[in-house]
Structure 1
Amino acid sequence: MLKFQSFVLVLTSFILGFSEFIIVGILNNIATDFHISVATVGLLVTIFAIIYAIATPLVSMSVGHHRLYWSYLVLMLIFAASNLLTALANNYFLLIAGRILTAVVSGTLVSVSITFVSFLAPLTKRAGIVAWIFSGFSIASVFGVPMGTWLSNYTSWRYVFIIISILAVITLLLAMFCLPYDLRQQHVNSFFKQLSIFLDHQIQLGILLPLLNLAGIYVFYTYLRPIFSQGMGFNNNALTFLLFVYGFMSLVGNLYSGRIAANHGLKTMPIVFLVQFMLLGSLSFAISNRILGLTVVMLLGVSMYLLNSPSAMFYLKVAEEKYPQSLVLASSFNSIFANFGIALGSGIGSLLYVKTGLAGIGPGGAIFAFLAMLVNFWLNQLRKRQKLQKKTAG
């Protein structure tokens, strides 16, 4: 049963990732349909991420001690309806409304899925299953975004969101029959007591990592299509294949993040951020050569989600040990602060694209990767010091 339950939770993240990431592949099609600029459509990424990041902690805390089962079903139903609204939008403002409603529920769906894992899976299997849940987003990049882009190019981008709605309903029906009915986190006497986890110094540093990681990546990822077409000169026929390869590379990184989490965890990540810094710093001149440019972009794809499982397991461990009333909220930290990073990165990426074209995108992202490396090193030192103090006191 655990395998089928895990499949449903991974399918959930796939659909969420499909809905979130497809905008990158269909920017031009939406811009043409609504007679607006590509940069204006690019702001949908920023708006989605901001709403996602703000709404997720509020909705996650609202789950409280309610059954995870019913929380999941209600959120998935809203998600299906919001994507249908996006598909039927006849003006840009309705399109924004559909994306906002999708963003409101997406983050909490991720956190509820991860919370299910903490109850259902033995400790030895948690990191692997959490890695697969995050890999659902990468699978969406591998298969969903390229296929959605192809469908959008040859029919209409609206069909993509109709398909997402249908998949959401199918997933909801599967979840009804396989997820346990009576699970819930520890009883919460006060809605705001869940926020006490933010007073933890380790958490304060830890939540900066997904923010800085995705800020650096999304400075360039938001404009991945122009990088391939304008920067490297690939045509539309090649774009689908290149998006597929990029998604596959991010999937490899996502799955490997489970291995990192099961072994050295966050201790390994400063090295990853250093490599990411070097890759982003070299992007501007690398894209002038197709082979070099593709190598840099694909390696960035691998690095994109290496943080996912180590950070998620770190948040869960701190919550289980000190803040059990905040388990669902802690499960949402990766999604919340990653999307703050997406909003920041895509916003700065849009500004750099307008002001400098593709030239400023790589260096802009590199700054965030360097900051992530410094914060990660600081956190590792703090954890080492607190562990030593605890051992001495014991």
Structure 2
Amino acid sequence: MQSIVFVLTAFMLGCNEFIMIGIISDIAHQFNVSIAVVGYLVTIFATVYAISTPLITIFTNRFNRFKTLMVLMLVFLIGNTATALAPNYFMLVVARMVTAAVAGSIISLIMTFASSVAPMDKRPALISWIFSGFSIASVFGVPIGTAISTAYGWRNAFLIVSVISVLTLGLLFWLLPRQIKQVTSSLGKQLSLMKDLRVYDGVVLVLFGAAAMYGYYTYIRPLLTTELGFSLSSLNWLLFLLGLMSIFSNQLSGQLASHGGLVHMPKVYILEIALLFILPLTLHLAIFGLVVLLVLSLITSVLNSPIQLHFLNVAEQDYPQSIVLASSLNSIFFNFGISLGSATSSTMVDVAGVHNISFGAGVFALIALVMVVLLNRAIKRYQQASRSHDVEF
């Protein structure tokens, strides 16, 4: 039951974040502003999310984690409800910033609780399912929210998310332990985690891995319609199919984390690089191009569980005071990667056109390949040093 509520929490957060994609036009019409102006809400959300998550995580570390999670969930509920009731665009921006400010810390605490209550051998599967909650929100929550917005108004879409939030809050209050193992420390000691090469290499890997994904996915609609020639009527089904591949990708990620994890990631990135550089050559062949995009969707989330477990394991072994911060690193730098990838893809469209957009993403994937090789080497050196130290004593 705890596993289900963890996934439900991720689904709730995913719906709140992604639903904006499908209702931008409705909001623009409501407040009489341009679509481009409303589109900035996505950038604002990602930026506030990435900046606020480490700050809130660090400064709430000394408080009871159960109580902290309950407070953050209440703030999220207030922010999401305020979004639904916003009387003007300015208040809508403020409400989105409130929800973004706490969303990252909520999922970080959920990851911390998950790692505490799950047996070691069950952790990879549980973490992969938590990440799947976001994919499920993208596949099912966004189209349902869009349909609600179209039929009954965009405000009702966010009110539905508030209902889910109340349900999730109640289940978390009922099921979670009031106390879990917790080490409190100063700001400096918490941030000492970031000096570890295994963590530094890991966060750079996450950043460029996300940038590689959003270096082409930002323009997935024109890739499918303008370039591959699929009709607008088939777009929802194609996006649904790509979303399903993303869910499968998170499950594959869990399996990979149980069998070597990061050791196998260089092969994944070599395949991703090859597909990204091949993609422009397949755009005049609809089926082949779609197959390339489907395979890319299958492998782009594979890093999630191995890197999340890596950060947690490093913190548990050497930086127990930084557990929650370690839990948040993946989501923080993934959002920075989204910003980098989407900005680069926009530049690529202006300079080289949509059909060549994946070349920029391929460069990011190449950097990610270098970083995962460096990370594996850093892990190996640490393991060798630990074995030498054990022999000496």
Q: Distance in 2 between matches of 1:31 and 1:285?
A: 37
Total equivalences in the alignment: 390
Instruction: State whether residues 24 and 223 of structure 1, in contact with CA within 8 Å, keep that contact through their aligned partners in structure 2.
Output: no
Alpha-carbon distance change, 160 to 263 in structure 1, aligned in 2, over 3 angstroms? same
- AA of the residue aligned to 1:167: I
Match of 1:308 among 297, 304, 318: 304
Asked whether 1:130 is paired with 2:124, we answer no
Superposition CA RMSD, Å: 2.1
DSSP-derived class of the 1:332 partner: helix
Task: Spell out the pairing of 1:67-146 with structure 2 (5 A cutoff).
Answer: 67-146=64-143
Q: Distance in 2 between matches of 1:289 and 1:32?
A: 37
Asked whether 1:382 is paired with 2:384, we answer no
Task: Spell out the pairing of 1:32-47 with structure 2 (5 A cutoff).
Answer: 32-34=29-31, 38-47=35-44
Q: Distance in 2 between matches of 1:97 and 1:356?
A: 36
Q: Distance in 2 between matches of 1:77 and 1:234?
A: 43
* TM-score, reference length from structure 2: 0.92
Q: Distance in 1 between matches of 2:30 and 2:346?
A: 20
Alpha-carbon distance change, 180 to 192 in structure 1, aligned in 2, over 3 angstroms? same
Instruction: State whether residues 262 and 376 of structure 2, in contact with CA within 8 Å, keep that contact through their aligned partners in structure 1.
Output: yes
User: Shift of residue 154 of structure 1?
Assistant: 4.4
Instruction: State whether residues 230 and 286 of structure 2, in contact with CA within 8 Å, keep that contact through their aligned partners in structure 1.
Output: no
Aligned to 2:388: 392
Aligned to 2:355: 359
Q: Distance in 1 between matches of 2:20 and 2:288?
A: 26
Q: Distance in 2 between matches of 1:114 and 1:193?
A: 21
User: Shift of residue 133 of structure 1?
Assistant: 0.9
Q: Distance in 1 between matches of 2:352 and 2:332?
A: 30
**Could you report, residue by residue, the CA deviation over 1:261-319 in whole angstroms, capped at 9, with x for unpaired residues?**
11111111111112222222233343333212221222221122111100010001100
User: Shift of residue 245 of structure 1?
Assistant: 1.3
Aligned to 2:162: 165
Aligned to 2:183: 186
Q: Distance in 2 between matches of 1:344 and 1:40?
A: 19
Instruction: State whether residues 21 and 145 of structure 1, in contact with CA within 8 Å, keep that contact through their aligned partners in structure 2.
Output: yes
Q: Distance in 2 between matches of 1:21 and 1:51?
A: 15
Alpha-carbon distance change, 366 to 43 in structure 1, aligned in 2, over 3 angstroms? farther
Asked whether 1:224 is paired with 2:220, we answer yes
- AA of the residue aligned to 1:7: I
Q: Percent identity?
A: 44
Aligned to 1:343: 339
- AA of the residue aligned to 1:365: A
Aligned to 1:50: 47
Match of 1:6 among 3, 6, 13: 3
Alpha-carbon distance change, 158 to 48 in structure 1, aligned in 2, over 3 angstroms? same
Aligned to 1:281: 277
Alpha-carbon distance change, 187 to 98 in structure 1, aligned in 2, over 3 angstroms? same
- AA of the residue aligned to 1:44: L
Asked whether 1:215 is paired with 2:220, we answer no
User: Shift of residue 196 of structure 1?
Assistant: 0.8
Q: Distance in 2 between matches of 1:294 and 1:27?
A: 26
Q: Which runs of 5+ in 2 are unaligned?
A: none
Using the TM superposition, name which of 35-44 and 116-125 deviates more.
Answer: 35-44
- AA of the residue aligned to 2:214: Y
Alpha-carbon distance change, 62 to 244 in structure 1, aligned in 2, over 3 angstroms? same
Alpha-carbon distance change, 140 to 5 in structure 1, aligned in 2, over 3 angstroms? same
Q: Distance in 2 between matches of 1:269 and 1:327?
A: 24
DSSP-derived class of the 1:288 partner: coil
User: Shift of residue 159 of structure 1?
Assistant: 2.6
User: Shift of residue 155 of structure 1?
Assistant: 4.4
